[in-house]
Amino acid sequence: MTRPNEPLETVSLELSGPRTGEVLVRLAATGVCASDVHTHTGRIPSPAPCVLGHEGAGVVEEVGAGVTHVAVGDHVALSWMPSCGVCRHCTAGRPVLCTAAAPALLAGTLLDGTVRLHRGAQPVNHYSFLSTFATHTVVPASSAIRIDPRVPLAVASLVGCGVLTGYGAVINRARVAPGSSVAVFGAGGVGLSAVMAARLSGAERILVVDPVVAKLEEAGVFGATHLLAPGDDLVERIREITGGGVDHAIDAAGAEGVLAQAFAATVPGGTIVCVGMPDSRARPSLPGPELVREEKIVTGSLYGSSCPSVDIPTILRQYLAGSLPLDRMITRSYELEGMNDAFADLREGRLTRGVVVFDEHLAGLGVRADAVALAA
User: Of 20-34, 98-112, 138-152, 356-370, which gets the smallest average pLDDT?
Assistant: 356-370
Q: Tens digit of pLDDT for each residue in 127-142?
A: 999 999 999 999 999 9
Hey, which residues does 274 pair with through a beta bridge?
251, 300
Query: Residue 88 is which amino acid?
Result: R
Calculate the alpha carbon distances from 179 to 7, 96, 248, 284 in Å. 48, 29, 12, 31
pLDDT in tens, 75-95: 999 999 999 889 999 999 999
3-class DSSP assignment, residue 293: helix
Q: What is the pLDDT of residue 33?
A: 87
| pLDDT exceeds cutoff 80 at 280 | no
Domain residue limits, the chain: 14-146+325-363, 166-302
What average pLDDT does this structure show over 307-334?
A: 94
Q: What is the pLDDT of residues 212-269, one digit of tens each?
A: 999 999 999 999 999 999 988 999 999 999 999 999 999 999 888 899 999 999 999 9
Distance (Å, rounded) from C-alpha 373 to C-alpha 283?
A: 42
Residue 281: partners with Cβ closer than 8 Å, 6 or more residues away: none
Rounded-to-integer distance, Cα 277 and Cα 35, Å: 9
Q: What is the 3-state secondary structure (H, E, C) of 9-45?
A: CCCCCEECCCCCCEEEEEEEEEEECHHHHHHHHCCCC
Q: Give the fold, CATH level 3, of 166-302.
A: Rossmann fold (3.40.50)
Burial class (CB within 10 angstroms; exposed 0-12, middle 13-18, buried 19+) of 103: exposed
Band of pLDDT at residue 365, cut at 50, 70 and 90: low
Mean pLDDT of 280-299: 89
State the pLDDT at residue 368.
Answer: 34
Is residue 69 within 8 A of residue 146, CB to CB? The reply is yes
Q: What single DSSP character describes residue 227?
A: E
CATH architecture of 14-146+325-363: Alpha-Beta Complex (3.90)
Contact between 358 and 334 under an 8 Å Cβ cutoff? The reply is: no
The pLDDT of residue 34 is above 90: no
* Cβ burial 187-211 (10 Å sphere, 16+ → b, else e): bbbbbbbbbbbbbbbebebbbbbbe
Tens-place pLDDT, residues 132-175? 999 999 999 999 999 999 999 999 999 999 999 999 999 999 99
CA distance 47 to 358: 25
Residue 125 to residue 50: CA distance in whole angstroms: 4
CA 162 to chain centre: 2
Predicted confidence (pLDDT) at residue 370 exceeds the cutoff of 60:
no
SS3 76: strand
116 alpha carbon, distance to own chain's centre: 24
> What is the number of alpha carbons within 13 Å of residue 268 lying toward its C-beta?
6
Question: Predicted confidence band at 38 (pLDDT cuts at 50, 70, 90)?
Answer: confident
Rounded to the nearest integer, the mean pLDDT of the chain is: 92
Q: Is the pLDDT of residue 371 over 60?
A: no
Name the β-bridge partners of 15.
117
Give tens-digit pLDDT for 185-221. Answer: 999 899 999 999 999 999 999 999 999 999 999 999 9
Instruction: Decide if 119 contacts 50 (C-beta within 8 A).
Output: no
Do the domains at 14-146+325-363 and 166-302 have one common CATH topology? no
Average pLDDT, integer, range 108-122: 95
Residues 6+ away with beta carbon under 8 Å from 361? none
Residue partners of 306: CB distance under 8 A and separation at least 6:
96, 164, 168, 172, 312
